[in-house]
Amino acid sequence: MFRFEKKANPFYEKDVSGCAVSAIMNTKGRRFSSEGIVKSIANQRDRSNGLGGGFAAYGIYPQFAELYALHIMYQNQASAHKTEQYLDDYFQVEHKEVIPHRHDTVISHHPFLRRYFVKPYPVGEKTPDRIFERLSEDELVIKNVMRINTGFDGAFVFSCGKNMGVFKGVGYPEDLAVFFKLEEYSAYIWIAHGRFPTNSAVWWGGAHPFSLLDWAVVHNGEISSYGINKRFLENFGYNCTLFTDTEVIAYIFDLLVRRHDLSFEMASKVMAPPFWDEIEKMPDEEKELYTTLRATYGGALLNGPFSVIAGFKNGIIALNDRVKLRPLVAARKDDFAYVASEEAAIRIVQSELDRVWSPAGGEPVIVMLEEPAAVPTAP
């Protein structure tokens, strides 16, 4: 079963869910199979209810590393047809295919799933819309993706990064792994999510990870600051269309790190800042820094319980809310890094660990590639 109607409600809506999260990364950028991540997320089956699951994998399209990989789901042929026409107008489509999947699994209903390896047309040549004129390729991709996701009935772009892809849907994550033939991919970062939504408006696009460019975010929690995070982002031109907390988290990362050049540490301190009591006790310079950070980016503070894992081409960042209302465990073994909702989900993959710890509320776990990925950076 999949739901795919765009909601007609003029107000934004947000779904509410509990979840399991997990991520495995090789810090040397070595690619490995999906076996471990599937085991890890399957071990946390209790934390999801079969109404949503998904994976993000980095380094899976080396042959198209320079191109944006658009994963799109369609409700019907008509929406696919219309969207593909639009893609042809705005993108140079180097390659298109059905996202490989099985027909004999427990996942019996699913949308059309296609992927396109594309490059936005350089501005000036074929760009029909002059408003997009002075934008970078990344910005062009974002604008077009947002346009498809808000303006095209029955079409939804759920992944648009380079050399990475998201695979998600309605079902248990381990079943979706079989459905999407994940055993055929190898990646240097795997992120997984199992979902426990509390409302019935379940649809394929609403599953995690939520992705924008090379950001992929999975998250367990409910953001009580959602209303203001969304409006804060609107100030900077982001339209939240997905009705999920995860979406705002991804946009906040994008705004702070990509557009405002904040470091990952600083971005985490915006989302889960130190308490004023702690700031009060800091040396003057630091006090000014954190006071300024909170005063300026108050609208980006994430309030309420959450543990979130965000992936990007050079690594992962995992973060808890400042009072740690949701679980998060991290571990290291040689050049592997692990984060998951539960320690058992790590131990089942690797029982011998160099170090296991439970990060404090608001303390980010940042794991970066030792060498920047063999992935070209966006111009």
Partner 1 sequence: MALKTYESEFKIVRDDSKCIACQVCVRQCANNAHIYDAEDEKVYADDSKCVNCHRCVSMCPTKALHIEHTPLQFMGTANWTSSAIRNVIKQADTGGVVLTAMGCDKKYPNYWDRILLNASQVTNPSIDPLREPMELKTIIGKKPDKLEFENKGGKVSLKTHLTPQLELSTPIMFSAMSYGSISLNAHKSLARAAFEYGIYWNTGEGGLHKDLKKYKDRTIVQVASGRFGVNSEYLNTSAAVEIKIGQGAKPGIGGHLPGEKVPEEISVTRMIPAGTDALSPAPHHDIYSIEDLKQLVYAIKEATRYTKPVFVKIAAVHNVSSIASGVVRAGADAVVIDGLLGGTGAAPAVMRDNVGIPIELAIAVVDARFRDEGIRNQASIIAAGGFRNSADVIKAIALGADAVYLGTAALVALGCHVCQKCYTGKCNWGIATQDPYLTKRLNPNIGSGRLMNLLRGWSIEIKEMLGGMGINAIESLRGNREHLRGIDLHDKERELLGIKAAGETW
x/- map, 190-209, partner 1, by CB under 8 A: --------xx----------
CB contact at 8 A, 161 and 210? no
Strands (E) located in the chain: 17-26, 32-33, 53-58, 68-74, 91-98, 112-120, 155-159, 164-169, 186-187, 189-197, 210-212, 215-221, 306-312, 315-320, 329-333, 336-340, 355-357, 365-368
Q: Using CA atoms, how far apart are residues 338 and 335, in angstroms rounded to an integer?
A: 10
The token pair that represents 352 in the structure block? 């011998």
Of 14, 15, 17, 19, which one is the catalytic site residue? 19
* Contact flag: residue 247 with partner 1 (CB under 8 A): no
How far apart CA 209 and CA 367 sit, in angstroms, is 18
Q: Work out whether 323 is an interface residue with partner 1 (CB under 8 A).
A: yes
Query: How far is it, in rounded angstroms, from Cα 263 to Cα 11?
Result: 33
Judged by beta carbon, residue 110 or residue 294, the one nearer partner 1 is 294
* 327 touching partner 1, by CB under 8 A: no
Residue indicated by tokens 């994976």 = 55
Q: Is the dihedral of CA 271, 372, 259, 251 positive or negative?
A: negative
Please identify, using beta-carbon distances, which residue of 11 and 124 lies nearer to partner 1.
11
Instruction: For partner 1, give the closer residue by CB, 323 or 360.
Output: 323
Catalytic residue list contains 19: yes
CB of 17 to partner 1, least distance (A): 8
C-alpha span between 45 and 366 (Å, rounded): 26
Residue 128 Cβ, how far from partner 1 at the closest point, in Å? 26
Q: Considering only residues 276 through 295, tell me which ones interact with partner 1, judged by CB under 8 A.
A: 276-277, 285, 288-289, 291-295
**Which x/- pattern, by CB under 8 A, does the window 141-180 give for partner 1?**
----------------------------------------
DSSP 278: H
Q: Which stretch binds partner 1 (CB under 8 A): 8-16, 76-84, 122-130, 184-192?
A: 8-16
Strand, helix or coil for residue 44: coil
Least Å distance, CB 244 to partner 1, is 10
Size of the site for partner 1 (CB under 8 A): 54
Query: With binding defined as CB under 8 A, does residue 322 bind partner 1?
Result: yes
Please give the helix or strand (H or E) that residue 77 lies within, else none. helix 77-90
Judged by beta carbon, residue 13 or residue 129, the one nearer partner 1 is 13
Shortest spacing between CB 301 and partner 1, in angstroms: 5
User: Does 226 engage in binding with partner 1 (CB under 8 A)?
Assistant: yes
**Least distance from C-beta 263 to partner 1, angstroms?**
7
Separation CA 372–CA 79 (nearest Å) = 38
CB of 272 to partner 1, least distance (A): 10
| Site for partner 1, residues 15 to 54, rule: CB under 8 A | 15-18
Is 368 a binder of partner 1 (CB under 8 A)? Answer: no
What residues numbered 290-319 form the site for partner 1, per CB under 8 A?
291-299, 301-305
Structure tokens at 116: 């396109």
Beta bridge partners of 189: 25, 58
- CA distances to 24, 26, 224, 297 from 274, rounded to whole Å, are 28, 30, 18, 13
The residues facing 82 across adjacent strands are none
Check residue 260 for interaction with partner 1 (CB under 8 A). yes
Question: Catalytic site residues?
Answer: 19
Binding site for partner 1 (CB under 8 A): 11-18, 198-199, 221-222, 224-228, 230-232, 234-236, 243, 259-263, 266, 273, 275-277, 285, 288-289, 291-299, 301-305, 322-323, 325
